[in-house]
A and B are shown apart, each in its own frame.
Chain A
């Protein structure tokens, strides 16, 4: 596309008084790190790149699968056929949408050893992930390096979003003190998800991004947004007074970055010669096998006794077998790749 005026493509959003030419120039000079490029992430990337955010780093560890196409708006059947990583497939589409901005795809499993590098230089971090391990890692990095970030989550017909500005709003740990134990809350695989629910949550996140990057911090929503597209609810609950939680928030008040330091989260170990990976979960409490079995029976064969739960499933023609222990640890047979094992764990045992 040849433009005599390179700003012409942004003319409609520049006409909006909140953005204007000055705001557009700020967007063009902005850098964003997008953690995860699934349902939330593809909507976020789509909006940011069309809006002219100058540099978007897109990080995802997964490949495009047929079950993604119902809601992950940047992917199509050819991406599945070509077995493309989500970050790369998204980058191809995004560059076709807007060749004037820089898209940097990274195919990687975000963890505590690399997330600080991925977020370096970013003006804003966006949550396009599907699990709380990554969200608490983002929260740690954002508070530690004084960068704003926007949380979004969606499952079933419901979703929530919150904008975190270090020093000004509560952080994720002020509001949600700890991650749900494995198996305690639904995932998109176990509880299902409606595309509009994720699209709406991501659109709210993207709007927050546009406000922050265009220099409109005062317009940011400082409360927790909760919506359900099936039950027709949309509300903001007041969380602002939780900021720092009277000096007791381990992250933003005490500056203990427990997820970044490895005190929480998962650890993986490849089990040599067994085509299996052990995923360990550093959470307290015991799994409720009866509940987890009830959730998993929709996705595969489940059995359990007092000590362990076995779960067998076939995903894209590949068989996997989970052996899950009461403390949340799982041995996943069928892969020797830690990234794949973490993906399977996050999908089915959840977080």
Chain B
């Protein structure tokens, strides 16, 4: 069947000299591993600009740690000894910077690339026509971004540790917590991005009016309870505050009652899970139009 025509020249032979496995096998594998197949694609795309990503993964923390943790800290530590639970200002802000870095990265990865998938280069429509389903496209994208977040956070953590800013043995657990924090912010954002039909600057607004205030008012540079009560809610709803508090408990033994630690984790997990669920339904609706 594959060689139906007695071809007069070799070039006229159909391009079926190899043989792929049967469609049933493709479908079965896609059903089982589809999310990973799409993640592989996204990671390969990221790989084409890996040096830029790596440079920013290393450059950003070093910059912040020098400016805040060393420059500003000299002043802060001299004037307010004991204001940060008996640790240096550097140790105080390091877990906050770790969690903010994942949020910043998630904010980039779950906005423009999503628009690119649906609209600009329509990258999602390729896998959509393949045996993969829409949930797997969502999950694959998330797996790839989580991988990037993990790599970035590990590098960040190593630099923090090298600065001596993570004295506790449990410090390394701050890495998965920071990644969770990034997803808690990133997945609801992903669902929102998928619902944007036309880019009229919404993503720039998200950066300016959501990411930046969260970065400033989530107990990042000073404890949340130094803020007036009417501003503290920003921290309470902010995944960054929950992630930072957990991070502090892990890196230098900041005291967090157990029930509150559970609330922190639950809040982050709920945001991430809710975002995933919403993203799946928005993707299904938009791709299946």
Same complex for A and B? Answer no
Residues of A within 8 A of B (CB): none
